[in-house]
Amino acid sequence: MIIIKYDHYQTLGGLGDRIIGLISCKLIAKLLKQPFYIYWNKENIKDYIDYFDYDFELLNINSSSSDKFFYLIDNQYCLKDYLMNETILFPDENNYFHLNQEISQYLYKNKLFSNRNYYDDIFDEYKNLYTKTLKPTPYLKEKINYLISDKKNIIGIQIRAGDKIMITNVGETYNIYNDENIFDILNNIKKHIENDYNEYNIFLTSDYKNVYNISLNIWNQNNIIYYDDIIQHLDRKPVQTDITKIFLDSIVLSQYTISMYISSYSNYGNISALSSIHSNIYDLNCNKIDKKELLSKDEKY
């Protein structure tokens, strides 16, 4: 079996990075006709996400000397030749992956799977991400329904401003925008939206809370949807145990918008775009994005 593993002992990346790895493992398992499971115990996400059908912990399997472990964090190429050329793949009973890269693409270079269409297969997995694989729990659905209420024509905007801004990322230096840049970005997005829509609402998500305050200078507050809670990074020490916002923002952006503008260098935005119910995806400069370009930050099929 193929198991994606998020445990206490490894740095794994944020939600977007983890989903990239999860989808890759799930697709590999599908091609190899192996069971797929999720072993997620680094955080307790079961208040927010139902993955019962894939919950490895429900199997009560003890570790074995025959288990195989693949540590592939930030390493897309380690198994490239193996996936492209071997005819007997992952023969061990339990194959555990620490993975945040899109490696399933290499199987489609293998003669065993030359009849399969990579894009059809991987987009099918993303389509099912928040409807069949990681389903919002009743608790999270209630939060989402309360937040969006009766809002129509929701346009999503996701701005990745930089690691140093987040309260959980003490000591980090990565930073992209200042307030003036963000105002210009949002103002240009407003002009672009209004080429197509007269009446709409904005759903806003960012790692920088002041993005919301800046947006109040551009849109009427009644037309801005924002889940106001502490912004945390999933792979850093939490400052509160409630991590609703991480999952709520991603799911709303993915499943409840009719169009979105994302930081295309951010896997958090990318996985929402890839799993979205539409293809109206734009970068922060209002350029249309082909979803194929979001499947990997590095080498692409």
**pLDDT digits over 55-112, tens only?**
999 998 877 778 999 999 999 999 999 999 999 999 999 999 999 999 999 999 999 9
Residues in the chain: 301
Strands 135-136 and 154-159 turn out to be: unpaired
**pLDDT digits over 132-157, tens only?**
999 999 999 999 999 999 999 999 99
Q: Residue 174's pLDDT is what? A: 47
Q: Residue 290's pLDDT is what? A: 97
**Residues in contact with 275: Cβ distance below 8 Å, sequence separation at least 6, in sequence order:** 126, 127, 129, 130, 254, 255
Q: Residue 237's pLDDT is what? A: 78
Q: Which fold has domain 138-294?
A: Rossmann fold (3.40.50)
**pLDDT digits over 204-235, tens only?**
999 998 999 999 999 999 999 999 999 888 87
Residue 238 confidence class, pLDDT cut points 50, 70, 90: confident
Strands 95-99 and 201-206 turn out to be: unpaired
**pLDDT digits over 246-299, tens only?**
999 999 999 999 999 999 999 999 999 999 999 999 999 999 999 999 999 999
Burial of 56 (0-12, 13-18, 19+ CB in 10 A): buried
Q: Residue 233's pLDDT is what? A: 81
Other residues' Cβ atoms within 10 Å of the Cβ of residue 209: 16
CB 211 within 8 A of CB 204: yes
Q: Residue 4's pLDDT is what? A: 98
- Provide the residue ranges of all domains of the chain, joining segments of one domain with +: 2-136, 138-294
Q: Looking at residue 216, what DSSP letter applies?
A: T
Q: Residue 163's pLDDT is what? A: 61
pTM above 0.75, yes or no: yes
CB 133 within 8 A of CB 26: yes
Q: Residue 175's pLDDT is what? A: 59
**pLDDT digits over 161-193, tens only?**
866 555 555 555 545 678 899 999 999 999 999
CB 113 within 8 A of CB 138: no
Q: Residue 172's pLDDT is what? A: 54
Q: Residue 179's pLDDT is what? A: 87
